Amino acid sequence: MSALIWNIASFVIALGILITVHEFGHFWVARKNGVLVKRFSIGFGKALFRWRDRQGTEFVVAMIPLGGYVRMLDDRFDPVLPQFKDLAFNQKTVQQRMAIIVAGPMANFIFAIFVLWLMYMIGVPEAKPVIADVRSGSIAASAELQPDYQITAVNGRSAADVRTLNLLLVEQLGRNQMTLQLQHRQSGQLTERQLDTRQWQFDPDRQTIFDSLGIDLMMPIPLTTLAHIEPGSPAALAGLEVGDEITHVDNSALQSWYQLTEWIQNNPSTPLDMRILRQGQSLALTVVPGERQTADGFTQGYLGIVPASSGWPEGIRYTKRHNPLTALQVGVQQTWQLTRLSFSMIGKFIFGDVSVRHLSGPISIAQGAGTTASIGLIAFLTFLALISVNLGVINLLPLPILDGGHLMYMVVELIRGKPVSEKAQEIGFRIGAMVLLLLMGIALLNDISRL
């Protein structure tokens, strides 16, 4: 229950910050262009707090924190005296109205740059992407990738750390091949390998992008010792405790955490005889894995346990910290990379390279917010930057109900010399709302299937 409250609180804080930033973009540029802003609302429904400034704008914090809006004077909907017509949004030039509309998404991109700038001045823990092992029969094995080589670039784009490499690899989904540049960790020898990715399958709900290619990176190794047990889980009900080391399952000795995971996932609702070490004593327990549905409809076992892990290999972990100027440069570069990746993923959804079952909705976002907030400030700031970029990108899509749809109408107006008819706009808004609701419904169903 406490985890749920933490996730909801983190989600509300994150969403509140991002919506405020987005709507402030519209608000600030509207004011700069001489538009009277009647209301600036964070949330919908009943107002919890409200106040007015000297220019007559009503600021509202409402009960339902799932959005927000800026209500501007518009003589198509508001009675406006002739002397105040120049304060109406619809009386401004097309270019001014376009600037006001695009200011919301742009504010999200600027906020992402600011967050990343702040992160890299504080210092971001990073890891070098050095190959520890290559799984036989995998795409990486076919390309003859070798252990002890650090992946330095993907198709010529530099990847100094695991975080950047992960994003670059996701961008390659749907392509027939990619080229990796590598450097040997000891000798410094440079080499290049081409990966045939025509049969590449990646399921983000079940594996990392590296797992899907058959690459194991040098990082802490999960152990069969338990670091956390979820309250009320099958593991807790069976009597497992934090610190227990699981050594055998059904009289078979365990070699790794991955072996244990596979055993549990393949045996939902099936009693498993386990032998554990607890404070130096060997004990026998019978554990019955619970059942849950995966995104692709399969039933999978789970226990609700988190493993302890070994330390980082020497020379892999480091802290990336910059002065204010270079931190700003890195912030701009990473925001552009996230923006490019977001548009790329939308294209992959449209063309079927990535399944819509991987869309995430509010539940997954809330879980992500809670998890990153519990890890620490840097993780939560990373989450904020990512969601801020995604919010900016989504709002630029040419769906009439979004900012991008309004921009689309204004571009047409700019070309034709007259506005799109209100009837055509109304039809577009209805279609846009239907498409958006459909996508939200799919994302919500995906969230529920992951619980």
Residue 18, phi-psi category: left (phi > 0), alpha (psi -120 to 50), beta (remainder): alpha
Q: Are 90 and 74 in contact (CB under 8 A)?
A: yes
> What SS3 class is residue 286?
strand
Candidates 23, 192, 314, 422; catalytic one? 23
* CA 400 – CA 384 distance, rounded (Å): 26
- Distances in Å between the Cα of 47 and the Cα atoms of 14, 24, 62, 68, 139 are 20, 18, 4, 12, 56
Largest CA distance in the chain: 87
What sign for the dihedral angle of Cα 133, 136, 139, 140? positive
Phi, psi of 406 (to 5 degrees): -60, -40
The single-letter code of the amino acid at 144 is E
How far apart CA 172 and CA 353 sit, in angstroms, is 10
Specify the residue for token string 């900016």: 392
Q: Is the separation of the CB atoms in 413 and 96 below 8 Å?
A: no
Query: Phi, psi (5° rounding) for residue 301?
Result: -85, 155
Asked if residues 39 and 60 have their Cβ atoms less than 8 Å apart, the reply is: yes
H or E element, residue 395: helix 377-395
Report the DSSP beta bridge partners of residue 306: 228
CA atoms within 13 A on the CB side of 92: 23
Note if 58 is an active site residue.
Answer: no
Sign of CA dihedral 132, 134, 140, 141: positive
Q: Active-site residue numbers?
A: 23
